Structure 1
Amino acid sequence: MRLMRLGPPGRERPAVLSDDDVLYDLMPLTPDIDGAFLERCGVAEVAAALEAGNLTVMDDPADGTGLRIGAPVARPGAVICVGMNYAAHAAESGSSPPTRTVIFLKHPNTVVGPFDDVRIPPGSTRTDWEVELALVVGRRARYLASKEEAAHYIAGFTVSNDVSEREYQLDISGGQWSKGKCAETFNPLGPWLVPTAELGLGAGLRLRSSVNGEARQDSTTDDLILDVAQVVYELSQYMVLEPGDIINTGTPEGVALSGRFPYLAPGDLVQCGIDHLGTQRQHVVQGSAQ
């Protein structure tokens, strides 16, 4: 099953897409797919209701031709990112693979729907794409004892585009990356959330991105330096993770920062996809103060 949120920004309604591609309304079970829903084991409630045939079919299609598809998790308290978590990406960025976890934060309001526009900041010439496997925290986690324990705190997975402005991130960063990560629309998420119980821990998933139909990134999660359970374990040593928090686990090689491809410009079309998690696409537009 695939958990979704459908409707205009700020007024999305929860839904679930079954394995046979039937869309069901989740409003009788929950007002939204958020931290509170995940904390009360709402994913298991949905699975049980789906199996029992207790859900009502929604009329609107889930392929982008009907209701807008929003981010699959509402109002995350935090968007936590792991940098340089693929060795080839570290190399193309001119860095050695890190010996310590590289962590940075994105403002939660960067999260938008998977088909919403990406807005380039005024004056930016170095806006970049980054397809990433994102995990969603299902339970409050602090000082976990092992990666094996950490695996039980992951509610599920989705597709993330960790859009980055490289001049802000690297040249005028002041020693941290968040300046280049927090512009509006800089974290398209979705189209859906697949529970860990159905996907496992995300091993062997193929990640791909393209710009204007031309391939950019093509790798698998087997190339992760830190696997997803290790990421959750290590993050829990530095911060309390809350239900509904988003963790971007890193991007593979093939971004514009490598020098092999041009940066994004208004009019471009970016697509990011991961096996079993769907494909998202964004038109790139010029941002403004309006």
Structure 2
Amino acid sequence: MQFGSRVAPLPVQANTTADLLTHHWDELWSIGESRATLPCAELTLLSPVTPNQQFMCQGINYRSHIIESGMRVEDFPFNTIFTKASSCMTAADAPVVRPPHVQLLDYEIELGLVLRREVPPHTSVQPDDLGRWLAGVTIVNDLSARDIQLPQGQFYKGKSYRGFGPVGPGLVLLTADEWKRWPELHMRLSVNGQLRQDAYCAEMVHWPAATLTELSGLQDLQAGDLIATGTPAGCAARAPGKAVMFAMRHFMSDATKWRLFARKGASNPAYLQPGDRILASIRTDDGAIDLGEQTTAIVAP
């Protein structure tokens, strides 16, 4: 448990996030600041979600991102769900290698929800009961190779390279009252000091309770599993103008369309390059709930 610049050790045996949350929930809440004896600066932080857990994601779940992608919010009444490989999870301050064949590497700051316990099939989760099913929140950067994801229609491949899922720095456990404030969480992401994404979680189209309800009717959900809830506007990838979109849809083959997409993207300086540094944070404006900061460096192979 972290208190300011120091960490309080938890004297338990837990090899996974599920083990910790399932068997040591009360101990997590019982640790006081007086036991924080380890300086954070002397520790190597890992992802707070272990790679045995499921890594589920919501796509196009922010109104501003839908619009910047050239689509209309009313055309997406459904919840878009996909997965990332759990092996792509990495620490909040770990460098990320841009694969040699990837040229259009994009960033997506997202609020991560971590399950507290198993959710039985077909559970109806109520908005005021999130703390029963969720342990806490964390920062996720859904790094994405757009030149794989979009031309190939491969969300999983484009988003699952090793390192493409920085998580953390910590898992912030929330009380019942704090869960009511999740819409106030303010997400910011900058690249090389330039602010790129800046939005509140209240902008989500499909909120956590509805998403948990839908997922429980679809698949098994276990303690420690991670759900990334989508990203707001500000990504490097943008839709072309309406006239260009019309021409691409009606007069171009798919091969030509994606060839032009790649050519246009190559001249877009917003895509991540080796040497770029990303800073991502999520907190309420009053600082009462603070998920910390991610500091990710993009490096060459």
TM-score category of the 2 structures, normalised to the smaller one: 0.7 to 0.9
Residue 144 of structure 1 aligns with which residue?
123
Structure 2: state its 5+ residue gaps: 240-267, 284-289
- Number of paired residues? 261
- Which deviations, in whole Å up to 9, do the C-alpha atoms of 1:168-188 show, x marking residues without a partner? 111012xx4111111110000
- Letter paired with 1:279: E
Residue 218 of structure 1 aligns with which residue?
198
Query: Which structure carries more strand by proportion?
Result: 1
Indicate the structure (1 or 2) with the bigger Cα radius of gyration.
2
Alignment of 1:229-248 (within 5 A): 229-248=209-228
Task: Tell me: CA distance 1:148–1:220, structure 2 relative to 1, closer, same or farther (3 Å).
Answer: closer
Residue 230 of structure 2 aligns with which residue?
250
Alignment equivalent of 2:277, drawn from 265, 269, 278:
269
Residue 46 of structure 1 aligns with which residue?
28
- Letter paired with 2:147: E
8 A contact 1:211–1:269 mirrored in 2 = yes
Residue 117 of structure 1 and its aligned partner are, at CA, apart by 0.7
Residue 33 of structure 1 and its aligned partner are, at CA, apart by 5.4
CA distance in 1, matches of 2:42, 2:146: 35
- Which deviations, in whole Å up to 9, do the C-alpha atoms of 1:232-272 show, x marking residues without a partner? 12211111111111100000100001268620010100111
Residue 74 of structure 1 and its aligned partner are, at CA, apart by 2.1
Residue 188 of structure 1 aligns with which residue?
166
Structure 1 vs Structure 2 CA RMSD: 2.0
Runs ≥4 residues deviating over 6 A: none
Residue 3 of structure 1 aligns with which residue?
none
Structure 1 residue 37 corresponds to structure 2 residue 20: yes
8 A contact 1:114–1:191 mirrored in 2 = yes
Residue 58 of structure 1 and its aligned partner are, at CA, apart by 3.5
- Letter paired with 1:145: S
Q: TM-score, normalised by structure 1?
A: 0.84
Residue 32 of structure 1 and its aligned partner are, at CA, apart by 4.3
In percent, how many aligned pairs have the same letter? 31
- Which deviations, in whole Å up to 9, do the C-alpha atoms of 1:18-53 show, x marking residues without a partner? 3x5542111x1333451122123x2332212438x6
Query: Which structure carries more helix by proportion?
Result: 2
Structure 1 residue 110 corresponds to structure 2 residue 110: no
Structure 1: state its 5+ residue gaps: 1-15
Q: TM-score, normalised by structure 2?
A: 0.81
CA distance in 1, matches of 2:30, 2:54: 29
Alignment equivalent of 1:130, drawn from 88, 101, 108:
108
- Letter paired with 2:69: S
- Which deviations, in whole Å up to 9, do the C-alpha atoms of 1:206-256 show, x marking residues without a partner? 000000000100000111111222221221111111111110000010000
